[in-house]
Amino acid sequence: MNNGNRSGRGSGRRFGGVRSSSGSRSFGRPKSRFGSRGGGFRGGRGGFKRSNDIDISKFVKKASFTEKKEIEISHLFSDFPFSEKIQENLKRRNFEKPTPIQDQAIPHILKGKDVIGLANTGTGKTGAFLLPLINKVSNDRSQKVLIMAPTRELCSQIEEEFRLFAFAMGVFSATCIGGMPIYKQIGALKRNPNFIIGTPGRLKDLEKRGVLNLASFNNVVVDEIDRMLDMGFIDIIKEIIGRTQKERQSLFFSATMPDPIKRLTSQFLKEPVTVSVQVGQTADNVDQDIVRFNRSSKVDTLKELLSKEELKKVLIFIETKRDVEALATDLRKDGFRVDSIHGDKVQRQRQRSLANFRNNNINILIATDVAARGLDIKEVTHVINYTIPQTYDDYVHRIGRTGRGNNKGNALTFVARSH
């Protein structure tokens, strides 16, 4: 069959997998130069090696999508006391009903409360903090907002949402992230925008250069704070928040609340309101299974999968940047519509690849874990873990790229056959 994934030799091939006793798919294919990688147990963080200590049975689970309970929504967007311009921008996007996290968090933020927002990825957290803060700034131009997020991609996504929500309001932002020319960002800061969106490392760099005055901010948002903890940013975040105004509104959004983050909230938030709309892991929407392969046939097994018609929009995760590029090159030669993102690509390249994936110019994107958090890419039908992640938390965040919102997703994890 040929659904546009491939040209030429992909046409008409059948998916030859059979079920093993564990319910996983099992294959036997000719040798490939990627085969020696096996299950991908070579560490990608710091280059260390590690054995696979994740219980393989955790990768097999049927979606409980039909059992998911709907959370009652108390408001429409028109019920919130937003400015007329914001309401126009919401209508332009056909936004009538908020998501649960927006429904519950926005009223508290509008009242000036500090908020801890707990919600799974893909639940509308960005709108929950952007809309009331844009409204706040439109009413009082002395307000300045600092938004921190763990990755360049998430910062860019927040910036994109900001532009749509604040369209034609005369409220401006600057995005400060690594991988982009710093002098352009310095120029943007000199225009004194009310919103600064950035990654902690770049924000600290700009502050050291004397072009970012942290003491001017009286609103602070930390998004995906649990990911910040995973990436070792907590000390930088403490330093940055500690230099903002003491009388400020602080909003922390996270999927989980481990002890170090609880201590951070008690240090920086004043009588916070906790809003939790978690109804189980995002993975509840995702069918999870494993793909067994012979060590000499890994890439051919993958190609067989990608030739199937139902794999319409696929995100593939690999541990190392070099292997991402090698696999992308191999698939591209076979006619697959594929691109890649990883830390060695400059930000413009990463944004172009993501845009092509979002707009369906390509239907396969290969990535390191840089893309595992925060990205909201619509209608990803399948996530494939071509290499097993370092931790189960990483696994959950990877497969959270599919099954978003009210959609059902699929996750497949490659596991080497034992001989």
Contact 58, 395 (CB under 8 A): yes
pLDDT digits (tens, 9 = 90+) for 286-342: 899 999 998 789 999 999 999 999 999 999 999 888 999 999 999 999 999 999 988
Lowest-confidence segment of 252-266, 340-354, 366-380 by average pLDDT: 366-380
State yes or no: pLDDT of 20 exceeds 60: no
* pLDDT bucket at 64, cuts 50 / 70 / 90: low
Of the two residues 370 and 293, the one the predictor is more confident about is 293
Where are the domains positioned within the chain? 18-66+283-416, 77-276
State yes or no: pLDDT of 171 exceeds 70: yes
Return the DSSP state at 386.
S
pLDDT digits (tens, 9 = 90+) for 179-238: 889 999 999 999 999 999 999 999 999 999 999 999 999 999 999 998 888 778 899 999
Of the two residues 68 and 76, the one the predictor is more confident about is 76
At the top level of CATH, the class of 18-66+283-416 is alpha beta
Please state which of the four CATH numbers 3.30.420.310, 3.40.50.300, 2.60.40.420, 3.10.580.10 is assigned to the domain occupying 77-276.
3.40.50.300
State yes or no: pLDDT of 89 exceeds 80: yes
Of the two residues 408 and 110, the one the predictor is more confident about is 110
Nearest Cα to Cα of residue 22 among 391, 413, 401:
413
Contact 341, 151 (CB under 8 A): no
pTM above 0.95, yes or no: no
Cα separation of the two ends of the chain: 32
Residues whose CB is less than 8 angstroms from the CB of residue 323 and which lie 6 or more positions away in sequence, other chains included: 37, 40, 387
- What's the rounded Cα separation, in Å, for the pair 353 and 270? 41
State yes or no: pLDDT of 9 exceeds 50: no
Residues whose CB is less than 8 angstroms from the CB of residue 14 and which lie 6 or more positions away in sequence, other chains included: none
Cα dist from 119 to 76, 108, 359, whole Å: 19, 16, 27
pLDDT digits (tens, 9 = 90+) for 391-405: 777 788 788 888 876
Residue with tokens 């803060």: 133
Lowest-confidence segment of 52-66, 138-152, 234-248, 375-389 by average pLDDT: 52-66
Lowest-confidence segment of 3-7, 107-111, 226-230 by average pLDDT: 3-7
Residue-level pLDDT at 229: 83
Residue-level pLDDT at 419: 56
* pLDDT bucket at 48, cuts 50 / 70 / 90: very low
Residues whose CB is less than 8 angstroms from the CB of residue 266 and which lie 6 or more positions away in sequence, other chains included: none
Same fold, 18-66+283-416 and 77-276: yes
Sheet hosting strand 115-118, strand order edge to edge: 173-176, 195-198, 145-148, 219-222, 249-254, 115-118, 273-276
- Per-chain mean pLDDT for the chain: 83
Percent of the chain with pLDDT over 70: 81
State yes or no: pLDDT of 74 exceeds 80: yes
The CA-CA-CA angle for residues 47, 53, 59, to 5°, reads 110
